[in-house]
Amino acid sequence: MRKLRLFAIVFAAAVILFSSAVLWIGMRQQQLDRERMEAARDRDSNVFYEIFVRAFHDSDGDGKGDLNGIVAKLDYLREMGVSGIWMTPIHPSPSYHGYDVTDYYAIHPDFGTMEDFERLIGEAHRRNIKIIMDLVVNHTSNRHPWFVEARSGADNPKRDWYIWADEATNVNATSAIGGKAWHSVSTGRYLGIFGEGMPDLNLDNPEVRAEFIRIARFWLEKGVDGFRLDAAKHVYEDLQGDNRRPEVAEKNVAWWREFRAALEEVKPDVYLVGEVWDAPSVIGPYLDGAFDSGFNFELAGKLIQLAKSERATDIAAAVRRIHDYYAEVSGGRFIDATFLSNHDQNRVMSQLEGNVDHAKMAAALLLTLPGRVFLYYGEEIGMEGVKPDENLRRPMPWDEVDRQHNEPDSLLNHYRRLVNWRKLEPALAFGTVESYATGHRSVVSYIREHEGERLLVLHNLSGEPQQLALESKADIEAEKLAVTLASAPGIKFERDEVSLPAYSTAVLKAK
């Protein structure tokens, strides 16, 4: 009996020592991770954050988000690791969404003052966060003074700033987005492909072109770093069938090249990302001297489907095909703008039917693939919302942010880790991608390379643990690899074999 008691005491002591050692190792690893993160804090993650200003954070208690609200949350964004902010329109507008502007040189009073805007720019830049603004060039509000003048009569100087029907016009034509194209006022019919409240501007008029260059320069001189250009392909693509006319796309691209050249005279490194809601084959020509980036709508759908289906595909090959084409048409000067959803689409969590594990995997795929990533506000905490549009733009629930902040395994902290991984490993933020097949139907894998450093990225999309033997190929020597980043405990690499827990991501590189 005495021997049994002695054995029990020794065994218990051993368990305590082992547990303490494991705990110490875990705490030491966390400390090392924090030290690595701190050392990389000011690096560029190549991640931007889209803010629907009215819904983000209210600083003055009037129930509406504002510019000072963004200032108050800059440290939240810095902690997340984002390197830029895209603000939806902040100009005076009769609509809650702001895409029908009445004054391009002013700040909507709901959002603050010009002084508030200048403070936001200064505070963001102090934290190494860039600011880009939404700029709507295709149309104005029908309450804009330009249109009020234009509709007053055919002889008004502003008449030719908009597009009016003549006797030969088919006023029953369908717009490029599928609705009514022509709308009536007492003095004629005008084009408005996004509705009667948003009349289309006539960019064939040199005065209009010069005015929008002047507007953009005004904001660049205020300190903004660039623009997201709304409905960029619809400057000339107005009616159904226009997308099959090469001369229409050529006119679009020519205008945006002129716009870019004029802006570079003020800010040589201005960043322009265009909303060209179409296939990569349509986006490509805009990357030749017009835009730095086009939003990759095709990839967004594929990433969500990958996470939802839990079935692997060679996503790296799909991305590489797009990038090879973009490199060819742009001379290598492009930045793919990747994302999962935006203010016009059902939110990610709703598309994934509330499955947090799938949301984590969609984020892991997005943030370990190439491109300048755009996150939509609230995506990092799993906000839900399906059409109509108002449901996609609800107020940010900051109490949920606080709750998830204190949960180490929350979706919020998952996003924070992934964004900061891109600072720790520049190959994730700026590298190329190539395929690496493992043969496992639930494991997505690819290689990222930047300046001679190669990383192997592995995602277990499924709810089952996966064991896979790695092969040396594509200049990856399996026996020299080690896990450098892991999304979950239990990820191991021993004797060329990787253990991936359910819904986990591992990044390996040479020792």
Q: Give catalytic residues, as residue numbers.
A: 230, 275
8 Å CB contact between 389 and 344: yes
How far apart CA 450 and CA 443 sit, in angstroms, is 23
Question: In 3-state terms, what secondary structure has residue 118?
Answer: helix
How far apart CA 121 and CA 131 sit, in angstroms, is 7
Cα radius of gyration rounded to whole Å, the chain = 26
8 Å CB contact between 47 and 82: yes
Retrieve residue 428's tokens: 């994730």
Question: In 3-state terms, what secondary structure has residue 342?
Answer: coil
Task: Report the length, in residues, of the chain.
Answer: 511
How far apart CA 435 and CA 446 sit, in angstroms, is 5
How far apart CA 323 and CA 196 sit, in angstroms, is 38
Retrieve residue 462's tokens: 């499924």
Q: What is the DSSP letter of 369?
A: S
- Residue 117's H or E segment, with its range, is helix 114-126
Sheet holding 497-500, edge to edge: 466-469, 497-500, 492-494
Retrieve residue 493's tokens: 């690499």
Residue 184 β-bridge partners? 189
How far apart CA 316 and CA 302 sit, in angstroms, is 11
Retrieve residue 246's tokens: 């090469």
Question: In 3-state terms, what secondary structure has residue 180?
Answer: strand
**CA distance from start to end of the chain:** 51
The amino acid present at 387, given as its one-letter code, is K
- Residue 317's H or E segment, with its range, is helix 315-330
Nearest to 494 by CA among 510, 509, 478, 507: 478
